[in-house]
Each structure stands twice: as C-alpha cells, then as structure tokens.
Chains A and B, each alone.
Chain A
Amino acid sequence: MATAEASSNMKKVQVRRYKPEENADTNYLNAESGLRSWLLTKDHKRIGILYLIATTFFFFFGGLLALGIRMELWTPAATFIEADTYNQLFTLHGVIMIFLFLVPAVPAILGNFFLPMQIGAKDVAFPKLNLASWYIYMIGAIGTIFVIFAGGIDTGWTFYMPYSSTTGGAVTFMSFGVFILGFSSILTGINFITTIHKMRAPGITWGKLPLFCWSLYATSIIQILATPVLAITLALVGMERLLGIGIFDPALGGDPVLFQHFFWFYSHPAVYIMIVPGFGVVSEIVSTFSKKTIFGYWAIAMSSLAIAFISFLVWGHHMFVSGQASLANMVFSFLTFLVGIPTGIKMFNWLATMHKGSISLKTPMLYILGFFFLFTVGGLTGIALATIAIDIHLHDTYYVVAHFHFVMVGGMVMAYLGGLYYWWPKMSGRMYNETLGKISALLVFLGFNVTFLPQFVMGAQGMPRRYFNYIDQFQGFHQVSTIGAFILGIGFAMVFYNLVKSLFNGEKASANPWNSRALEWQVASPAPPHNFDHIPVLIHGPYDYHKPMADFQLGLAQTNGHEPEMGTHIEADKEVEMKD
C-alpha cells in the first residue's frame, strides 16, 4: 500500500515495475475506428496525427511551388511562366511553408503526441481545446490559401506596405487568415504550458523534465506573447482600410516603415517558434543515440528560455536599410548578436554529449548530424548578417534566402524529420526501412547543399531576391541550384515513401527500439489509448543511461481504486525514495 512519509522534501512511495507490453491488443489507433472517431477525437495522439496529415499535404504543396520557382529560374528571362505568376508562386510558397507547415510542424505534431507521454500524463490539460485548435488551424489554412488564389496575392510573405495595399482588400483577409492560424498556435501554447505545470507524474521535477518539453515550454511562451501583436496589426490595417485612418499607407498620411516594425515584432519571434522546438528534438535524439546522459541539461533548458526572451528584442535587424535611425540599428545589431550566444551554448553541449558516447548512426541520428552542419552554417551566416555593415550589402539578396533556408530547412526540417523517424515506431507501431532511410537522408543532405550553397555566392555577388529575371552572370549558379532542388525533392519523396510503406509492410516495432530511458518509450508501440494504465513514477532523469532500464518503468503500486493484476508485466511492490 502506498505510504507517503515526508522526510524533509523527500518522500517514500510504494511502486511496482510496469514493463511495457509487446504486441498489445489495443492501442490508440485501433481503440476506436471510423472517420468520426478521428474527426471528433480528444486524444492528443490522434490530434497529432491529424496535424501530421494536414501539414504533410501543405509541405508537399509548398515544395511543388518551390520546384516551380526553381524551374522558372533556369534561364535569365521568362522560362515557362510570367512575372506575375512567379510573384504569386513565391508568395504562396513562403506563406505555406512558414505559417502552414513550419510553425505547427514540431509543436502540433510531435509536441502534441509526445509532450503528455513524456511527463506521464494521460492527455493534455484541455483536450477539447486541443481539437478546437486543429479545426481553427484548418480553417485558417484553407482560408489563407483561398485568399491568395482568389486575390492573386503577390506581395511576398512579408506583405510590406504600401505595395500590399495595392492588392485591394486582400491583405486584410490575408492577415486575418494568418491571425486565425496564430490563434490556433496560441491555444496549443496555453495547453502545453498548463499541461507542463499541472500534469507531471510523481517524481518529474523541473530538473527531470525532458528537454523536448522545455523547448515546447519556451515556444509556447513566445506563441502566447507574440501572436496578439499580429491581432493588433490586423486591427490597425482594418481601421486604415475601412475607416481611412492613415496608419501605414503614406497616401493617407501613414508610415509604411511602421508596418515593418509591427510585422517583424511578430514574425521575428515566430522564427523562433519555428526553430526552438527543433532544438528539443535534437536534445532527445543526441542523448538516445549516444546512449549517454545529456551534457549541460540546465544550460540547454535555460538557453531555450533565453532565446525566447531575447527573440522579442531583435526584430529591427530586418530593417537595417529601411531608413531606421543608426542608433536603433546599433541596438538591434547588438541584441541580435546576443541571441547567438545561447544558440552556440546549445551546439557545444550537444557535441559534448556525443563525446565519449556510444554513437549509433541510425536514420534519426543522421538527420541530427545534418542539422549540426546545416544549422551551424545557417547560424554563422546569421552572425554575418547581424553585423550591420555586412548586412547592408547582403540584405534582400540570395544570401539571405540561403541563410533562412539553412536555418529553417537545414535546421528545423532536419530536426523534424529526425524526430519523425525517431518517434515513428511509437506513432505507427512499425519500423521504417533503415537502408532506405539512410539513403534518403543522404539525398536530402546532398540536395539541400547543392540547392542553397550556390545561393550564398550569388547573393554576395549581388543577385537580389524575388527576381523573376536576372542578369546573365548568375545563370550558372541558378542552374546548379535548380538541379539541387530536384535532388532534394526526390529525397523528400523517398522519406514519404519509406514511412508510408512501413505502415503496410514494415516490421512490427518493439516498445523501445532505441533503448531510450525516456518515459514515452516505456509503454507499448503503438502507444496505448490512454498512454499509461498506471501512474508513472520517476526516480531518475530521462537521460540517465547509467541506470538500469527497470528503474524507468516504475509506477505507483496503487492506482485510483482499481488494482492492476500482477503478472508478467507487473512485478512485486517495492519502496523508493523520491523528491517531492
């Protein structure tokens, strides 16, 4: 029977070992069936899958548009489409990739699925709100795409005034669509913060919280604080359009540069909404595949929060040539450099985790190694751009295009794919094909570099961004880049093929194929309908690879009322001491 004896802040609890079941009969996928059971589900895991399906669709749509853009750039003049079509293509590509794919990808898919499992909870704090946020996301996504098509929006994803006011009412609708999307991410953020605060299983102190959860925590804070600014911007745009009050449009006496301030005040933190969850994935995978305690747990956890905080103060680095005062430029440049420090700290801690580890080069780890290289390049070119003088020449050239693709695709998409492969056995109950996984990872890495490395060079040479035509001197670079894009495209298609194929004829996954110590791996694959049939108890941290696996499978001996049956999976009671 459970005895809780408080001694200072340690307490004793009665626990049992609950070994994860192999080949369990029911899991979250087959517990209920039918379309209705999916569309009305409140299960965080199923909602994660709903997000996965939607974002995958948008990712491939956005990717096809990218191939269209790249094909058009094969020759310096018109290749197969007109200038206006080209401008709509890159707008649609940017909007889809950022707001429809990248922002929700890791938090809403992997976060939704694994955050509750990592903290030993049965669900998120507000399951209905969680489902609502998916619907809101879908409405925002479909609305946004519809508006772009119907209004023929060609402003780029930045919607700069006053150009964007020439596209009629479309900007208002557009920012409304983006705001709806933002609202969905606010709801997810609120859910995550509450869940982390309130629903941690016994023993999961803040110091034992998996780093993936820490990164989602930091992300949620940004989402909640930054998104309302988008609403304010929207309200101002609406007031200007409908009431004729001059705010941004110089024709009405407004200030177009003010719009840029508002836009980046939201969108720069949004850049970190995109990357910080990826950091969390990296921490999980590096530790698991090095079979070693994470190095600098607190440094990594706190640097996420530091990044979240500083990210609110650097928006002006997008406006160094906008005519903003030199003093403002100086301050923004300085603060931007500061973001580099916590980011560097993370890199070094991950590398130190690999040091003296037992490194296994499975597919998820290959993506993380790719991440290390690509994100380093993305980050260091970011440092170059933070140096005001250097940015003057490089701003709005292909150098910047390459920089943000290195961060967003080379960083975040690599982390996301690594995470998807890593958690795939738990999500699908199947193992993907390892050989195919490795080949496609290499193709993605190769294709990515061939696509985007030449863009640094042509950008430094002066090739401006958002150019339909270009001068002949850049053609060689553009052609290499286009070839790379197709290699990259094939790589992504293979990833898709590999994962989907595994659903049909993949090997059945064991509960813990990576021998991870983290809690989400201590239940059956695919995950059981309610995650845990017991209340898990943690006496070690999630990265304590020096402790025996059995220590990570403990749960309270007594569960609310009903007594689990003793058997092969459940061992006799014992007593452990743990921090309160």
Chain B
Amino acid sequence: MEALRNFFLPPAKTAVAEQYDTLFWFVHISSLVVTIGIVVAIIYFIIKYRRKSENDVTPVITHNNKLEVTWSVIPLIITLVLFGWGFQTYIDMTKAPTDAYEVNVTAQKWLWRFQYKSGASTTNELHVPAGRPVKLIMQSQDVIHSFFVPDFRIKQDVIPGRYTEAWFQAREPGESIVFCTEYCGTDHSNMLAKVIVHEPEEFAQWLEDNSGAATKPTDLAPADWGEQLVQQNACATCHSTDGTELTGPTWQGTFGSEEQLADGSTVTVDENYIRESILNPNAKIVQGYGQVMPSYQGQLNDEQINAIIEYIKTLK
C-alpha cells in the first residue's frame, strides 16, 4: 500500500497535503471503479454479442427513460459530493491562518528571491521553521511564474503588478523542491528552488546569522565570501566557473580578457566592467547572449560586489 502510494504521489509533508491525498485517492479510486466497470461491460458485450452471421436480427430498443434518469442523477450526485469536498479542501489549502510567519517572495526570470522580516534575504532557498504556518506574499518582476511545491501540494501563480499568496505548515525539518510551473522562457525548467525546513530554534539561529548578510563575516577571505554570495544569489544558474556554456558567459578565465560585445565593440573585463554588468547588465551585452540577466541594483552593496569581483578574479 505504502509503496503504491509513493509511486503515485510525492511524500505529504504537511497536514493539508494529507487532506489533499485523501481526496485525491477517493476521486481516483472511484474513477478506476467506473473505468473497470465500463471495460468489463465492453468486453462482455463483444464476446457475448459477437456477430454470428450477417443476418443477425437485433431487438429494437430505442430508449429507456428510467435508465437515462438513473445514469444522469447518480453521476450528478457523485459530482456534487466531489464539488463540495473539493471546494472545502481548496479553502483549507489556500486560506492562511492569521498567525502565519510571513515571507516575501519575488520571482523573476529565472530565480526566486525570499525576503524575511529580520532583513535576511536568500535566493533560491526558502528557509522556514517546522510546525509553524508560513505565508508567502508573492510578486513577479517580469512575466508570470508559478510557485509549486509538490511535497506540500501547493501551487500559486506569481504575477507582475499584483500580490498573490500561498501558505503551508511543514511538519518536520527537511528539504523540498520548488518548481516554476508557469512557462516563462528559456530557463523555465531551471527555475528551481528549495524549501529548507529547520527546527524552530535552528531557524531562529539561522535568521540571526543571516540578517547581517550585507557585511562580510570576519572569518572569511573576500574571495571566499564572494563565492558564497554567488551561491546565494544564484548567479551559477547562468554562469559556470568551469567553461560550460549556460545562459550567460562562463567566468572561467574571463577576468582580464577581451569581450566582444553585441554592438560590435570590444571591452576589457575589469573591475568597472563587472560592476556595471552586475548593476546594469543591459548596458553592455556580450555577443551571442540575450538581455536576460536581472539587475542586482539594490540587492548587492559595494562591499558584496567587490567580494564577487575578487572571486571572479580567482577563476583562471
């Protein structure tokens, strides 16, 4: 039973997800029964009433109102039950409890940003406490995206110019994958994130450690901090460090090299150029690439940008 359940659905990591699964199984098992009924009837008919000769005579049965009513009313009742049950569960899935912990979510091609009340912010990693409802207040910077966590059975479109909401309450610490499920272009299928559920104390600690993310931790060299920032800001979804071609140019050996730009001119990759590329990416477009890099104006401060430059310098 357990194995069968896991074959069809991802693990249910919230109480709502379990509620969802009950309904899911009810609908699918009753559908299965109906399907089997129909298949059995067809097979029985084609065996029993197989044509014996071209002169077979068949009875004249034009209609039967009692039957018509039966097979209209019974499905109607079943669907009404499904409708009511489905709507009730839907309300539970979408109406966040008032005491929920709020996180702001910003979607943009092709990454997810999460901003916490304490001032901490993360990219492509959503940190939350276990056992506490979390409400996401979401908005998109560009096109429509959709926030989907299979383990929680939640999905909500994220729209430009308007806020949408989703909520969940993870039961136990662990990790769950987030997909973007509204088609948004080239890297739609790479627009993934993780929900990382912590024990409540651990989460409090995490918040504290990360609220000061804007200043360099004393125990790190600038280039190492730069590497961390690159991870946190998901630059790596578009830039490789080993020469692999992704959506953006690789950083391997880029520092000090000459870049060919789309407008035909060339530029030397130095500190100023990298800084400009981060704050105003569309000012100079590298030849062969699209205008897809988001601006990090207001997201990264000078100290952070310097650290990233130091890191890029190390990638020979």
Contact = CB atoms under 8 A, between A and B. Distances in A.
Interface of A: 83-84, 87, 154-156, 160, 162-163, 166, 250-251, 255-257, 290-293, 295-299, 321-323, 326, 329-330, 333-334, 337-338, 340-341, 344-345, 347-349, 351-352, 354-361, 369, 372-373, 376-377, 380-381, 383-384, 386-390, 392-393, 395-397, 457, 460-462, 464-471, 515, 544-546
Interface stretch (B35-43, B127-135, B204-212, B298-306): B35-43
A87 B186 contact: yes
A447 to B, nearest CB: 19
Interface string B178-195: 011111111111101000
B99 interface: no
A163 B58 contact: no
A345 B72 CA distance: 6
Given A87-B186, A387-B27, A395-B155, A290 B49 contact: yes
11 contacts: A160-B143, A250-B161, A292-B58, A322-B159, A347-B38, A352-B61, A354-B46, A357-B49, A395-B181, A396-B146, A469-B189
A342 to B, nearest CB: 8
B60 A546 contact: yes
A291 B61 contact: no
A467 B188 CA distance: 7
A465 B181 contact: yes
Contacts of B143: 160, 162-163, 166
Contacts of A162: 142-144, 160
Nearest to B291: A166
A329 B150 CA distance: 21
Contacts of B88: 389
Given A388-B86, A392-B155, A461-B150, A471 B161 contact: no
Given A323-B159, A337-B80, A372-B42, A299 B180 contact: no
A299 B68 CA distance: 8
A293 B184 contact: no
B45 A354 contact: yes
Contacts of A545: 58
Contacts of B162: 250, 257, 323
A337 B83 CA distance: 8
A462 B10 contact: yes
A321 B38 contact: no
Contacts of B20: 389-390, 392-393
Nearest to B45: A354
Contacts of B23: 387, 389-390
A466 B183 contact: yes
B89 interface: yes
A87 B188 CA distance: 10
Contacts of A154: 185
Nearest to A303: B72
B13 to A, nearest CB: 12
Top 7 nearest A-B pairs by Cβ distance?
A462-B150, A387-B86, A358-B56, A389-B89, A250-B161, A467-B189, A380-B31
A296 to B, nearest CB: 5
B289 interface: no
A465 to B, nearest CB: 7
A369 B46 contact: yes
Interface string B86-114: 11111101100000000000000000000
Nearest to A162: B143
A468 B189 contact: yes
Contact of A383 (B42, B82, B85, B87): B82
B153 interface: yes
B177 to A, nearest CB: 7
B232 interface: no
Interface in B13-47: 20, 23-24, 27-28, 31, 34-35, 38-39, 41-42, 45-46
B31 A383 contact: yes
B144 A256 contact: yes
Contact of B58 (A166, A256, A467, A546): A546
Given A297-B62, A355-B61, A387-B27, 16 more contacts: A84-B186, A163-B143, A290-B49, A293-B61, A330-B87, A341-B79, A344-B72, A355-B49, A356-B49, A358-B57, A361-B46, A361-B50, A392-B155, A396-B181, A460-B8, A467-B189
B50 to A, nearest CB: 6
Contact of A257 (B56, B59, B68, B159): B159
B219 interface: no
Given A162-B160, A392-B154, A461-B9, A387 B83 contact: yes
B91 A163 contact: no
Contact of A358 (B49, B72, B86, B182): B49
A377 B39 CA distance: 11
Nearest to B54: A515
B252 interface: no
Given A162-B143, A295-B63, A389 B8 contact: no
Nearest to B162: A323
Nearest to A541: B62
Given A340-B75, A369-B46, A383-B79, A462 B179 contact: yes
A335 B16 CA distance: 25
Nearest to B142: A162
B58 A321 contact: no
A162 B185 CA distance: 11
A345 B39 contact: no
B144 A393 contact: no
Contacts of B72: 341, 344-345
Name, among A292, A334, A372, A388, the residue most crowded by chain B CB atoms within 10 Å (CB to CB): A388
A354 B63 contact: no
A444 to B, nearest CB: 17
Q: Of residues B34, B54, B146, B183, which shows the largest number of chain A Cβ atoms within 10 Å of its Cβ? A: B183
Nearest to A356: B59
A351 B41 contact: yes
B83 A334 contact: yes
Contact of B67 (A83, A155, A352): A352
B8 A457 contact: yes
Contacts of B150: 393, 461-462
B155 A321 contact: yes
Nearest to B86: A387
A471 B190 CA distance: 10
A501 B216 CA distance: 76
A337 B79 contact: yes
A384 B28 contact: yes
A381 B64 CA distance: 28
A467 B187 CA distance: 9
Contacts of B93: 389, 392
B157 interface: yes
A323 B147 CA distance: 12
Contacts of B155: 321, 392-393, 395-396
B156 interface: yes
